[in-house]
Chain A
Amino acid sequence: EAGVTQFPSHSVIEKGQTVTLRCDPISGHDNLYWYRRVMGKEIKFLLHFVKESKQDESGMPNNRFLAERTGGTYSTLKVQPAELEDSGVYFCASSQRQTYSYEQYFGPGTRLTVT
């Protein structure tokens, strides 16, 4: 079974540019989460999809961030325009709804560097 995949693995962009990150969850997983780790700090929650619906987007830092999950499959996270403080590693995770522990499976992350 394929795990959670993320693309690209690394992106370097200039301040003011736009970047789109993609996450492909494990097939059949209804829950999809985005998290971010800024250098040396905690991994922080950004938002949670259940299928194609946003269940919780309380962690989105501001309206420069837009997440979508069309058709309830893969998800994209767009940052427009990017700022220096957006640099960090963006993780995606997915989980089934049926497992008791709701274990979240994480992707390898996308390292975003804004210069």
Chain B
Amino acid sequence: GEDVEQSLFLSVREGDSSVINCTYTDSSSTYLYWYKQEPGAGLQLLTYIFSNMDMKQDQRLTVLLNKKDKHLSLRIADTQTGDSAIYFCAERESGNTPLVFGKGTRLSVIA
């Protein structure tokens, strides 16, 4: 079945760049997403990328997609303490099909 894998923890210093990695198995994934969950809050969509793209940049966020290796990454430039959260990678095959999530990467930012 479909599977999404991510490392569970990442710790970075404030001001450094963070890179969160994700691999997926479903070759028919059309949309790939990064969600952020802050303590006590719901999932907030950070950004998404279509499978026919290999990069998307949005302010401090850069998403890279290597479709051949089924590898997705999220780079956060100039990481701030407010970026501390759990980041979930997710994929889905088509428009309104359910999302398939990874276990989430807990990002800790050290001041």
Q: Which residues of B contact A59 (CB under 8 A)?
A: 98
Minimum Cβ distance to chain A for residue B20 (Å): 15
Please name all residues of chain A whose beta carbon is closer than 8 Å to the beta carbon of B48 when the two chains form the complex: 101, 103
Q: Is B53 an interface residue (CB 8 A)?
A: no
Interface residues as binary, B81-95 with A (CB distance below 8 Å gives 1, 0 otherwise): 000000010100001
Q: Are A43 and B88 in contact (CB under 8 A)?
A: yes
Given contacts A41-B103, A101-B48, contact A56 B98 (CB under 8 A): yes
Q: Does B45 contact A (CB under 8 A)?
A: yes
Residue in B44, B45, B102 whose Cβ sees the most chain A Cβ within 10 Å: B45
A residues in contact with B42, CB < 8 Å = 3-4, 91, 106-109
**B4 interface residue (CB < 8 Å to A):** yes
Q: How large is the interface on A (under 10, 10 to 19, 20 to 34, 35 or more residues)?
A: 20 to 34
Q: Is A69's beta carbon under 8 Å from chain B?
A: no
Q: A56-B98, A101-B31, A104-B99 are in contact. List 20 more A-B contacts (CB 8 A).
A: A3-B42, A35-B98, A35-B99, A42-B101, A42-B102, A43-B43, A43-B88, A43-B104, A45-B99, A45-B100, A48-B96, A59-B98, A91-B42, A97-B96, A102-B31, A102-B95, A106-B35, A107-B42, A108-B42, A109-B42
Footprint of B on A, CB under 8 Å? 3-4, 31, 33, 35, 40-45, 48, 50, 55-56, 59, 91, 93, 95, 97, 101-109
